[in-house]
Amino acid sequence: MEIRKFIAALLMLFLLAGCAPKSAPVDTRSGEAVSADSTHTPTQVQELTLAVVAEDGFVQPALLSAVTAFNAADADYRVNIVKYASVAELNTHITAGESADIFRVDGLPFESFANKGLFEDLNPYFDADPKMDLVPAFRKAMSTGEQLYKISPSFHAWTLTGLSDVVGDAQGWTFDELEQIIADNSATVTDVIAQQWDKEAALTFLLYQNLDEYIDWENGKALFNTEDFKNLLEFINTFPKSTTGNADWFEQLRTGKSIVIFSALGAVEGFTNFDSIMGGEIVAKGFPSVRKSSGVLASANFELACSATSANPKGAFAFIKSALETNADAYSMPFLKSQFDAAINTAMTEPTLLKEPMTNAQYEKFMKFLEGIDTLSGMSQPIQAIIHEETASYFAGQKDVEEVCRIIQSRTNLYIGEQG
29 lies in the same domain as 108: yes
Q: Quote the pLDDT of residue 12.
A: 40
360 in a domain, yes or no? no
Low-confidence stretches of the chain (pLDDT < 50) are 1-2, 4-40
Q: Quote the pLDDT of residue 246.
A: 62
63 in a domain, yes or no? yes
403: left (phi over 0), alpha (psi -120 to 50) or beta: alpha
Q: Quote the pLDDT of residue 190.
A: 67
Q: Quote the pLDDT of residue 352.
A: 65
Q: Quote the pLDDT of residue 105.
A: 92
> Which are the contacts of 178, defined by CB distance < 8 A and separation ≥ 6?
192, 288
Sign of the C-alpha dihedral, residues 25, 107, 416, 122? positive
List residues bridging with 300 in a β-sheet. 155
Nearest residue to 73 via CA among 319, 335, 327 = 319
Nearest residue to 119 via CA among 96, 103, 137 = 103
Structure letter (DSSP) for residue 359: P
How would DSSP label each residue in 121-160? Answer: --HHHHHT-GGG-B-HHHHHHH-BTTB---B-SEEEEEEE
225 lies in the same domain as 317: no
Return d(Cα 71, Cα 79) in angstroms, integer: 6
Q: Which helix (H) or strand (E) holds 199?
A: helix 199-210
Range of the domain at 327: 3-154+301-347
361 in a domain, yes or no? no
Q: Quote the pLDDT of residue 49.
A: 97
Instruction: Render pLDDT for 79-110 as a digit per residue (tens, 0 to 9).
Output: 999 999 988 899 899 988 888 999 999 878 88
For residue 328, give the amino acid letter. A
Q: Quote the pLDDT of residue 125.
A: 96
Instruction: Render pLDDT for 103-137 as a digit per residue (tens, 0 to 9).
Output: 999 878 888 889 889 999 999 999 999 889 999 99
Nearest residue to 3 via CA among 158, 154, 153, 229 = 158
89 lies in the same domain as 33: yes
365 in a domain, yes or no? no
187 in a domain, yes or no? yes
Residue 238 sits in a domain whose CATH number is: 3.40.190.10
179 lies in the same domain as 267: yes
Return d(Cα 249, Cα 42) in angstroms, integer: 57
Q: Quote the pLDDT of residue 420.
A: 61
188 lies in the same domain as 238: yes
